[in-house]
Structure 1
Amino acid sequence: MKVLLDAKPTVHQAIEALRTALAGGLDPDADPARSVVPVPAGQLLLMPASWGGFTGVKVASVAPGNAERGLPRIQGHYLLLDEPTLSPLAVLDGVAITSVRTAAVSAVAAAALAEPEASRLVVFGTGPQAHSHVAALRAVRPVRDLVVVGRDPARTQAFVAQYAELSARAGTPADVADADLVACCTTARAPLFDGAALPEHATVVAVGSHEPEAREVDDTTVARSTVVVEAIAAGLREAGDVVQAVRSGALAEEDLVPLADLVCGRAVPGPGPRLFKSVGMSWEDLVVAAATYRAAVGT
């Protein structure tokens, strides 16, 4: 077994691997449900999957208090195994895989949903996922202008300073009115902006939560949008943005569009804004871990 903690997936590798897997017949609804175990400091997550000759499992911890300690909120490793024999092949950096795969899934969705010339990006959040989403969305759309909305002015300005080539600036939720793309990458539990302000052509990706009682977008955004999810069952189980909108009557379950249907051309977005709600699934980690392993060992 190889220890490949220094092997980091690139966003382009991850986007291509995820798109190829979906186009090749991977069924996200076949994923086992995520196991979430509460512990005093936060949560332990267990995420297994099998596909394409590999089996794997991510073991991750989520410790909300770590930010005050200067430590990562999410930590963990990925164990990759040979599918036929279940022999361990490698241990990889679970945080690196999570960071890249989450944004890469958003990019796969945005490539099918966003206007071809989408250039104005508004990002909510200033953490690792916000950075990953800037990189991933730039990989699929010609982003030239970046607005960053954060809670901490100093962190927001530090984030903005890293993207001078994009005419980046700090902004407010009202900036969604001029956005082509909106990326919600926060730990918010309540909507971040007024969905009535979204332009008709805008595409929103929301990735910050996997709990039924937490959401980043409001009912107005959901009701106006074509709503795409990684998998119907996972969305109805874990995506607060979806669960609460269904509960309020703003969204009908049968109107949800699976990401695989979009990628394979079995569904097309309707008029109005487009929303991709991601909760993060085990198959995504496996596909990206396998691609990282192949690149590292030259297979």
Structure 2
Amino acid sequence: MLMITQSDIERLLAPADYIDLIENAFAAYTRGDTRLSRLAHLDSPPGEFHIKASGIDGVVGVKIGSCFYDRPATLGLPSIIGFIALFDGSTGQPLLLLESATITRLRTAAATAVAVRHLALPQASTLAVLGVGAQAASHVEAIRAVRPIDRVIVWGRDQAKAGRFAADHGAHVAATPAEAARQADIIVTLTPATQPYLGLRDVRPGALVAAVGSDAPTKRELHDDLLAGAALITDVTDQCAEVGELHHRPETPVRAELGEIVLGGTPGRMSADEIVVFDSTGTAIQDVVAAQALYTAAVKSGTGQALPLWD
């Protein structure tokens, strides 16, 4: 079994590499070329654990991730930590063990970029980022790879942190989420909020809202009127109904899953004035294809070290 570190992950693949990788994963899922993605959630106050599993092309991956949002303050460590184990799907042989938070950050931003590629207006140039945690910088970079973003507006609960992020990324700071969103063609919500804070009146016609923060039953970022007034696209509908924005308004009609749009079977946007919401809960197949690509790159380059579990 091979093990690679966080620095190996960052060196083996460039952030932009994940966009096409994740787009292909959405397409493969829709074609039925993957194993069903499985999700388990365990509360462990003051934090939580997520367990995700899926498979493709003869490999199976399992991710165990913990989210403890007090870790930066209490331990001086990141709030999200975990690992992915990749297996040979035909023999059960372990192939790779790797740190998961870096992959989660990169593949999540890539999934949003895929949604932007297919759902945002072609001329979209203003991006609002709501939340300035670990996902924020990767989202700015990934979205800039698929749209001509010339203005970024950020909001964060910690305004000092938002100011530092803005200085580092040439962005403007908004005082409220609504102030940021009302100026934007693309809005990305990246908070662990449990109460909705973004409504229909905060989003202008033609905007795309990528709702990324809601990945557990208790989390929610969007008001009912925004879900009711927008076209809803999901990553995986069943999972969104379990832990995403759809969980909180299950009667919301779903136009399509993103993979259907990637394959061209369903139009994502019907008009230039339509508001579109992408409910992104993060699927196991995204983790698996990323781990598979990293395993291939590690073996080819001789990166990593053997992990002798059996001696």
Q: Do these two structures clear the TM 0.5 threshold for a shared fold by scoring above it? A: yes
Task: Give the match for residue 23 of structure 2.
Answer: 19
Task: Give the match for residue 149 of structure 2.
Answer: 143
Q: CA RMSD in A?
A: 1.9
Q: Distance in 2 between matches of 1:28 and 1:107?
A: 22
Task: Give the match for residue 273 of structure 1.
Answer: 275
Task: Give the match for residue 237 of structure 2.
Answer: 232
Instruction: Tell me if the contact between 1:7 and 1:292 (Cα under 8 Å) persists in the aligned partners.
Output: yes
Residues 30-61 of structure 1, C-alpha deviations (whole Å, 9 max, x = no match)? 53431222335522322111112211111111
Q: Indicate how the Cα distance of structure 1 residues 266 and 155 shifts in structure 2: closer, same or farther if over 3 A, else same.
A: same
Q: Distance in 1 between matches of 2:34 and 2:215?
A: 16
SS in 1 for 2:38: coil
Aligned counterpart in structure 2 of residue 46 of structure 1, from 26, 51, 55:
51
Q: Distance in 1 between matches of 2:264 and 2:57?
A: 22
Q: Distance in 1 between matches of 2:236 and 2:293?
A: 22
SS in 2 for 1:140: coil
Aligned ranges for residues 250-261 of structure 1 at < 5 Å? Answer: 251-252=252-253, 255-261=254-260
Q: Distance in 1 between matches of 2:86 and 2:34?
A: 21
**How many residues matched?**
290
Aligned ranges for residues 13-162 of structure 1 at < 5 Å? Answer: 13-25=17-29, 27=32, 31-69=36-74, 70-162=76-168
Q: Indicate how the Cα distance of structure 1 residues 155 and 145 shifts in structure 2: closer, same or farther if over 3 A, else same.
A: same
Q: Indicate how the Cα distance of structure 1 residues 96 and 55 shifts in structure 2: closer, same or farther if over 3 A, else same.
A: same
SS in 2 for 1:128: coil
Give the TM-score, by structure 1 length: 0.91
Task: Give the match for residue 3 of structure 1.
Answer: 3
Q: Distance in 1 between matches of 2:46 and 2:219?
A: 19
Q: Distance in 1 between matches of 2:28 and 2:157?
A: 41
Instruction: Tell me if the contact between 1:22 and 1:263 (Cα under 8 Å) persists in the aligned partners.
Output: yes
Q: Distance in 2 between matches of 1:42 and 1:65?
A: 8
SS in 2 for 1:76: strand
Aligned ranges for residues 168-247 of structure 1 at < 5 Å? Answer: 168-171=171-174, 172=176, 173-239=178-244, 241-246=245-250
Identity of aligned residues (%): 31
Structure 1: stretches of 5+ with no match in the other structure: none
Q: Distance in 1 between matches of 2:70 and 2:36?
A: 30
SS in 2 for 1:212: coil
Residues 116-175 of structure 1, C-alpha deviations (whole Å, 9 max, x = no match)? 1211000001111111111111111111100001111210111001112xxx11013223
Q: Distance in 2 between matches of 1:215 and 1:29?
A: 29
How far is 1:198 from its partner? 1.4
Aligned counterpart in structure 2 of residue 289 of structure 1, from 288, 291, 301:
291
Instruction: Tell me if the contact between 1:229 and 1:276 (Cα under 8 Å) persists in the aligned partners.
Output: yes
